[in-house]
């Protein structure tokens, strides 16, 4: 199931984003081994890289979970403001400001919360990271299986080219033999024409076989994630695979698959992550403790400093007038009069007023430090907590059932692959015998036609039987190799 999905992702893969830029692609290798092809695919296949990109976010999720548990959130802000001169009305009151003002402010705050969600977050994040790692590993194994199958497809196509070349050589020989017999009057022109048709069909078969090799090589380069050369025929495969009798025990393979199959392993990790999500949902019943603290300050400066001086002068004049009135009307006989002249605004005071206005932008007036601690426990949430817990439990149960379902499917795949491999090996033995018999039949038919005791149609039938026997042998050999690769993919590890 995952192999099919992953193959589709490879075919439809798009270029990753800026956070995961495409690396510099290597030069096209002229000779490729299977392991080298797998290594190139692991580094450059876009579909695998898309899946691997998920790990970065999951790793940061773990860091974020631990940071939220042990460290407070810290926020800092700063700003500037401007308010023009004029009047504004609030309800029935009118406020007038004779000068525009400019100001600045800053604040520094901390916030930390301890709750069931923060306590369970690290375990939840680590479970998610393990699930992502398992998915990446599963994708690597599935991609390895796809590359192996494609490598074998190229080898099979090359073997079919050799068979097609053999057919061309045979039909060349048969054409010369038919022409020679026709020239001495021992055959008809029909034999010559039949030989020419057979020769033309063999030439077409050779062209198609060579084209098939090119197509299969292009598909291999696509799976490796690197551009193919303009002429794929320059690339050769250097690995071959022997046919050996399978001696693996089905019981051992099933036990290995239960431990090593990438799909089962990934689903187990996802089930573990779903279990962590269930624990996080249940932690909503716990109380939460929060702490916050903050510092702040501000400045406010009038753009027209003379406005303050004028206000101060008006105030001083009002004070002097009041003082003089007091001296004239409120003092008893013999009392010393108040010094009204001291209430006047001197140039030094005016300078101080102007200097005191010059506070923008960094001469802040600090506000008192503030801090708070709060404990909260939601008592009734309209059944939202039981609903979320139920949903998380259902997802965890589904994940566990998915693991069991995949385990059963893997056991079926391994058993089927094991018996298919046994059949493929036995088929090779039978096809070897058939190929020997068909070649002997062709040799006898050729000799009979050469001496004039057989017909050309008998020769063509014998050649067709030999060709079919050779093709069946090639198909049987590579069916065996594909069966081994499929069994390795089901088990989750190399068997050779």
Domain ranges (residues) in the chain: 2-13+31-84+102-287+377-491, 295-330+338-376
Q: Please report the pLDDT score of residue 385 as a whole number.
A: 85
For residues 134-159, b (16+ Cβ closer than 10 Å) or e, as one string? bbbbbbbbbbbbbbbbbbbbbbbbbb
Closest Cα to residue 366, out of 418, 312, 301, 297? 297
Q: Is 112 exposed, middle or buried (0-12, 13-18, 19+ CB in 10 A)?
A: middle
26: left (phi over 0), alpha (psi -120 to 50) or beta: beta
CA dist 479 and 436 (Å) reads: 20
Quick one: pLDDT at residue 21? 45
As to burial, measured by CB atoms within 10 angstroms (0-12 exposed, 13-18 middle, 19+ buried), residue 403 is: buried
Question: pLDDT tens per residue, the chain (496 residues)?
Answer: 334 433 434 343 333 333 344 445 566 678 899 999 999 999 999 999 999 999 999 999 999 999 998 999 999 999 999 988 877 776 667 777 778 889 999 999 999 999 888 888 899 899 999 999 999 998 999 999 999 999 999 999 999 999 999 999 988 988 888 898 888 888 889 888 988 998 999 999 999 999 999 999 999 999 999 998 888 989 999 998 999 999 999 999 999 998 888 889 888 888 998 998 888 888 888 889 999 999 999 998 888 888 888 888 888 888 888 888 888 888 766 678 888 878 888 888 888 888 888 888 888 989 999 999 999 988 888 888 889 889 989 999 999 999 999 999 999 999 999 999 999 999 999 999 999 999 999 899 988 888 888 888 888 889 899 999 999 999 999 999 999 999 999 998 888 7
CA distances to 141, 144, 148, 241, 481 from 219, rounded to whole Å, are 18, 14, 12, 20, 19
Q: What is the 3-state secondary structure (H, E, C) of 359-414?
A: CCCCCCEECCCEEEEEEECCCCCCCHHHHHHHHHHHHHHHHHHHHHHHHHHHHHHH
Cα 313 from Cα 297, distance rounded (Å):
29
Q: Which of 133, 141, 127 is nearest to 6 (CA)?
A: 141
Spatial contact of 289 and 428, defined as CB atoms under 8 Å apart = no
Rg over CA atoms, the chain: 45
Q: What is the pLDDT of residue 80?
A: 93
Is residue 475 exposed (0-12), middle (13-18) or buried (19+ Cβ within 10 Å)?
Answer: middle
Task: Report phi then psi at 112, rounded to 5.
Answer: -140, 140
CB 45 within 8 A of CB 221: no
- Quote the Cα angle for 237-3-260, to 5°: 90
Distance CA 148, CA 240 (A): 12
d(CA 97, CA 82): 13
- The answer to whether 48 touches 139, Cβ cutoff 8 Å, is yes
CB atoms within 10 A of CB 425: 18
CB atoms within 10 A of CB 232: 17
Q: How far apart are alpha carbons 176 and 182 in whole angstroms?
A: 10
377 CB neighbour count, 10 Å cutoff: 8
Contact 206, 161 (CB under 8 A): yes
Q: Where are the beta strands (DSSP E) in 7-51?
A: 31-32
User: Torsions phi, psi of 138, nearest 5?
Assistant: -60, -40
pLDDT score recorded for residue 253: 93
86: phi then psi, degrees, rounded to nearest 5:
145, -170
DSSP state string for 309-367? HHHHHHHHHHHHHHHHHHHHHTPPTTPPPP-GGGGS--HHHHHHHHHHH--TTT--EEP
Q: Are 77 and 107 in contact (CB under 8 A)?
A: yes
Whole-model pTM: value is 0.75
pLDDT for 454: 81
What pLDDT is stored for residue 25 in this prediction? 52
Q: Could you say which DSSP state residue 77 is in?
A: E
Say what the pLDDT of residue 220 is.
95
The CA distance from 285 to 117, in Å, is 10
Gap between the Cα atoms of 32 and 14, Å rounded: 25
What pLDDT was estimated at residue 9?
Answer: 40
Q: How many CB atoms lie within 10 A of CB 379?
A: 5
Q: Which CATH number fits domain 2-13+31-84+102-287+377-491: 1.20.1600.10, 3.30.300.30, 3.30.420.40, 3.20.20.140?
A: 1.20.1600.10
């Amino acid at each position: 199931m995952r192999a099919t999905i992953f193959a589709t992702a490879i075919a439809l893969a798009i270029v990753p984003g800026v956070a995961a830029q495409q690396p510099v692609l290597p030069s096209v290798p002229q000779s490729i081994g299977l392991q080298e092809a797998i290594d190139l695919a692991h580094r450059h296949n876009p579909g695998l890289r898309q899946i691997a990109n998920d790990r970065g976010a999951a790793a940061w999720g773990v860091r974020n979970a631990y940071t939220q548990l042990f460290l407070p959130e810290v926020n800092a802000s700063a700003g500037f403001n401007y308010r023009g001169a004029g009047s504004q009305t609030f309800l029935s009151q009118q406020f007038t400001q004779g000068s525009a003002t400019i100001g600045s402010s800053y604040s520094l705050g901390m916030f930390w919360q301890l709750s069931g969600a923060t306590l369970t977050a690290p375990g939840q994040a680590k479970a998610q990271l393990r699930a992502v790692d398992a998915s990446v590993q599963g994708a690597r194994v599935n991609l390895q299986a796809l590359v192996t199958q494609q490598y074998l497809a190229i080898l099979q196509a090359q073997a079919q080219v050799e068979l097609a070349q053999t057919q061309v050589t045979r039909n060349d020989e048969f054409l010369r033999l038919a022409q020679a017999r026709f020239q001495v009057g021992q055959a008809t022109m029909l034999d010559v024409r039949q030989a020419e048709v057979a020769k033309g069909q063999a030439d077409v078969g050779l062209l198609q076989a060579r084209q098939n090799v090119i197509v299969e090589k292009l598909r291999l380069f696509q799976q490796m994630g690197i551009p193919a050369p303009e002429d794929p025929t320059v690339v050769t495969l250097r690995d071959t695979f022997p046919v050996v009798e399978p001696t693996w025990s089905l019981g051992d393979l099933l036990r290995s698959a239960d431990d090593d199959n990438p799909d089962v392993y990934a689903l187990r990790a996802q089930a573990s992550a779903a279990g962590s999500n269930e624990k996080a949902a249940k932690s909503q019943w716990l109380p939460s403790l929060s702490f916050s603290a903050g510092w702040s300050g501000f400045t406010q400066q009038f753009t027209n400093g003379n406005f303050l001086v004028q206000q101060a002068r008006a105030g001083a004049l009002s004070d002097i007038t009041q003082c003089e009135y007091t001296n004239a009307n409120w003092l008893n006989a013999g009392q010393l009069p108040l010094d009204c002249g001291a209430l006047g605004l001197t140039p030094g005071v005016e300078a101080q007023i102007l200097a005191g206005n010059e506070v923008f932008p960094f001469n802040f007036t600090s506000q008192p430090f503030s801090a708070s601690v709060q404990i909260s426990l939601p008592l009734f949430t309209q059944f939202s907590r039981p609903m979320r817990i139920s949903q998380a439990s259902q997802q965890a149960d589904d994940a566990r059932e998915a693991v069991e379902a995949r385990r059963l499917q893997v056991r079926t795949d391994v058993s089927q692959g094991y018996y298919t491999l046994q059949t493929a090996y036995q088929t090779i033995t039978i096809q070897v015998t058939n190929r020997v018999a068909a070649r002997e039949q062709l040799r006898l038919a050729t000799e009979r036609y050469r001496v004039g005791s057989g017909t050309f149609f008998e020769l063509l039938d014998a050649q067709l039987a030999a060709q079919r026997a050779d093709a069946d042998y090639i198909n049987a050999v590579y069916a065996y190799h594909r069966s081994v690769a499929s069994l390795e993919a089901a088990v989750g590890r190399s068997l050779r």
